[in-house]
Amino acid sequence: MNTPTFRNWQSVQTEVLRRIHAREWKPGDLIPNEADLALEFGCARSTVNRALRALADNGLLDRRRKAGTRVASQPVAKATLDIAVIRTEIEERGQKYGYQLILRNQAIPPVAICASMQTGTTEQLLHIRALHIADDKPYALEDRWINTTVVPKALNEPFQEISANEWLLKNTPYTNGEIAFHAAVSTPDESSILNCPEHSALLVIDRLTWDNSLSVTKVRLVFGPGHQLRTIL
Amino acid sequence: MNTPTFRNWQSVQTEVLRRIHAREWKPGDLIPNEADLALEFGCARSTVNRALRALADNGLLDRRRKAGTRVASQPVAKATLDIAVIRTEIEERGQKYGYQLILRNQAIPPVAICASMQTGTTEQLLHIRALHIADDKPYALEDRWINTTVVPKALNEPFQEISANEWLLKNTPYTNGEIAFHAAVSTPDESSILNCPEHSALLVIDRLTWDNSLSVTKVRLVFGPGHQLRTIL
DNA sequence: AATGTCATTATGTGCATACATAATAACATG
DNA sequence: CATGTTATTATGTATGCACATAATGACATT
């Protein structure tokens, strides 16, 4: 059997994928080493390396020095959700974006917020509540605390036209963050703002971002009923 | 000022990240080309390329041939959720895993399922309902349809001990899939199985996987109240 | 048997070079 | 002036080579 030669790393990747899908290499199996594959595919080892590294990044292969490369036995599917600016998200779906500021003041947040943001319990933060609107219908309720020690410039922003969501993403650097998704029953308050029946099930996203060891902002986004987050595997 | 030399692609990446965070390079800015950066950093162009490519993969940079590399103006945060086998998920949190099969039969699915799986409306599929249990408490309800034309071997599986979730991930190849998250109010049925109050807000994951153009399985996972999906940014 | 040493091995990475490819700008031509 | 051609430029990638590094196993030593 004469194997065709694979000229680029994508085609090598495709062929390796094919073998995994066709179960020629089963989960847990050790696959040939880079040098051998390079020989077989008629390309350089670095080309094979590139292909296998990409697959390992996607969780399909486990690689360890000396131990070799094996097909992941628990093929962990990685769902990558793109968290964009809400305005962009809405506009990309061809809907009209609207925005309405509900509240903007400085206050001492509840202790739970203080604790997670690691700010003092006597420290005032900037509190913003706002509604994002798609095609004149409520889309998501944003409830945010901003650490003004870290982002003093936020104090000069009215957030009347531009949402804190958008302003912060454009103007504030951050190094890392956490994000969590869960479902919650709507409070009377949320129901009236989002114009939905009480006790609706709402998708909630909590996000907390840090600049090095200082908390920048903590935000809760409550989406209207039926909202879906989707992505491909 | 004498610039230190950067010996590896990670340190180049770190330095580029620093400049972005420090706003030396702002969103939308064009950054120097690879050759210049290589010169500045005292390394090879391929090293710079590796670093910038990695950052572009993470959505922090936009790169286009000839046009050059610029800092992403809409820094789209990418939240990567690892979707593992539920048993593993539970065990990794140090909890005891339990499993209970509720239903296993062959039936013609509702039209909505047929439509999304692109199977005929007269075609019988394998229907599985099962409960995943963490520390003796209901964790998630799995409701699944399996295309037995594609996975005939599933017909020989009792799914009494091993969940369909786990069996399929280990035994069935797939090429692509879709996944969606949303919140739903519990039905009476779900409430009793998950042992939660009626009208609880539950996190629901719908997943549909394909092997090339044939649907493999469609599954709905309904998690108990309070369940969170978390990841880091 | 337990422990330590060392050679071996497979992946990880850096570098110089070459060429491919996409996008753009400059230019020429009708 | 519009349009097509060409040169230029920055990224994309393949290759061969070298060396780094982690993990392993074989072997020796206690």
Question: pLDDT per residue over A113-155, tens digit each?
Answer: 999 999 988 899 999 999 999 999 999 999 999 999 999 999 9
Assign A212 a pLDDT band (cuts: 50, 70, 90): confident
Residues whose CB is below 7 A of strand C: A 33-35, 45-46, 49, 52-53, 56, 63-69; B 7-10, 43-47, 50, 64-67
Q: What whole-number percentage of chain A has pLDDT above 90?
A: 71
Nearest nucleotide by C1' from A49 CA? C11
Q: How far apart are the first and last CA of chain A?
A: 34
Q: What is the pLDDT of residue B85?
A: 86
A77 touches strand D (CB under 7 A): no
Residues A186-202, mean pLDDT to the nearest whole number = 94
* pLDDT reading at A3 higher than 60: no
A105 exposure class (CB count in 10 Å sphere: 0-12, 13-18, 19+) = exposed
Triad B206, B165, B110: Cα angle to 5°: 45
Distance in angstroms (rounded) separating the CA atoms of residues A169 and B74: 8
Q: How far apart are the first and last CA of chain B?
A: 34
Assign B180 a pLDDT band (cuts: 50, 70, 90): very high
Smallest CA–CA distance from B75 into chain A, residue = A169
A4 touches strand D (CB under 7 A): no
Count of pairs with CB atoms under 8 A, one residue in A, one in B:
152
Question: pLDDT per residue over B125-145, tens digit each?
Answer: 999 999 999 999 999 999 999
Residue predicted with more confidence, A192 or A79: A192
Q: What is the pLDDT of residue A233?
A: 77
Q: What is the pLDDT of residue B76?
A: 67
Instruction: Identify which of B200, B227, B192, B224 has the alpha carbon closest to the alpha carbon of residue A185.
Output: B200
Smallest CA–CA distance from A84 into chain B, residue = B76
Question: pLDDT per residue over B165-176, tens digit each?
Answer: 999 987 887 778
Tell me which DSSP letter residue B25 carries.
S
Distance in angstroms (rounded) separating the CA atoms of residues A213 and A176: 9
Q: Please state, rounded to an integer, the average pLDDT across all residues of chain A.
A: 90
Assign B1 a pLDDT band (cuts: 50, 70, 90): very low
- Chain B residues within 8 A of A170 when measuring between CB atoms: 27, 73
Assign A160 a pLDDT band (cuts: 50, 70, 90): very high
**Cross-chain CB nearest to A228 (options B173, B180, B207):** B180
Chain B nearest-CA distance from A125, in A, is 23
Alpha helix positions (H), B24-163: 34-41, 45-57, 86-92, 111-117
Residue A64 corresponds to which tokens in the numbers above?
């360890």
- Chain B residues within 8 A of A80 when measuring between CB atoms: 78-81
Smallest CA–CA distance from A225 into chain B, residue = B183
Q: What is the pLDDT of residue B4?
A: 53
Partner-chain contact B227 A78, CB within 8 Å: no
Q: Which amino acid is at A146?
A: I
Residues A168-178, mean pLDDT to the nearest whole number = 83
Strand order in the sheet with B61-64: B30-31, B68-71, B61-64
* pLDDT reading at A1 higher than 70: no
Three-class DSSP category at B83: strand
B21 touches strand D (CB under 7 A): no
Q: What is the pLDDT of residue A75?
A: 66
Residue whose pair of structure tokens reads 């420290």 in the numeric block: A123
A6 touches strand D (CB under 7 A): no
Residues B141-162, mean pLDDT to the nearest whole number = 95
Distance in angstroms (rounded) separating the CA atoms of residues B47 and B10: 9
> Do B144 and B80 form a contact (C-beta atoms < 8 A)?
no
- The beta-strand segments (E) located in chain B are 30-31, 61-64, 68-71, 77-83, 97-107, 125-134, 137-146, 176-185, 201-211, 214-223, 228-232
Partner-chain contact B201 A185, CB within 8 Å: yes
Q: What is the pLDDT of residue B3?
A: 47
Three-class DSSP category at A179: strand
A15 exposure class (CB count in 10 Å sphere: 0-12, 13-18, 19+) = middle
Alpha helix positions (H), A127-185: 164-171
Q: What is the pLDDT of residue B77?
A: 73
Partner-chain contact A21 B203, CB within 8 Å: no
Distance in angstroms (rounded) separating the CA atoms of residues B187 and B214: 31
Chain B nearest-CA distance from A232, in A, is 4
Partner-chain contact A229 B181, CB within 8 Å: yes
Q: What is the pLDDT of residue B172?
A: 83
- Chain A residues within 8 A of B225 when measuring between CB atoms: 183
Question: pLDDT per residue over B61-115, tens digit each?
Answer: 999 999 899 998 766 677 878 778 899 889 989 999 999 999 999 999 999 999 9
B33 touches strand D (CB under 7 A): yes
Distance in angstroms (rounded) separating the CA atoms of residues B207 and A229: 12
Lowest-pLDDT choice from A38-47, A63-72, A76-85, B150-159: A76-85
According to DSSP, the residues that pair with B132 across neighbouring strands are B99, B140
Residue B94 corresponds to which tokens in the numbers above?
């140090």
Residue nearest to nucleotide D10 (CA to C1'): B66
Residue B59 corresponds to which tokens in the numbers above?
């959505």
**Cross-chain CB nearest to A231 (options B74, B173, B179):** B179
Residue A213 corresponds to which tokens in the numbers above?
């060891």
Distance in angstroms (rounded) separating the CA atoms of residues B225 and B222: 9
Q: What is the pLDDT of residue B212?
A: 80
Distance in angstroms (rounded) separating the CA atoms of residues A44 and A61: 20
- Chain B residues within 8 A of A50 when measuring between CB atoms: none
**Cross-chain CB nearest to A203 (options B78, B179, B182):** B182
Lowest-pLDDT choice from A67-71, A120-124, A171-175, B24-28: A171-175
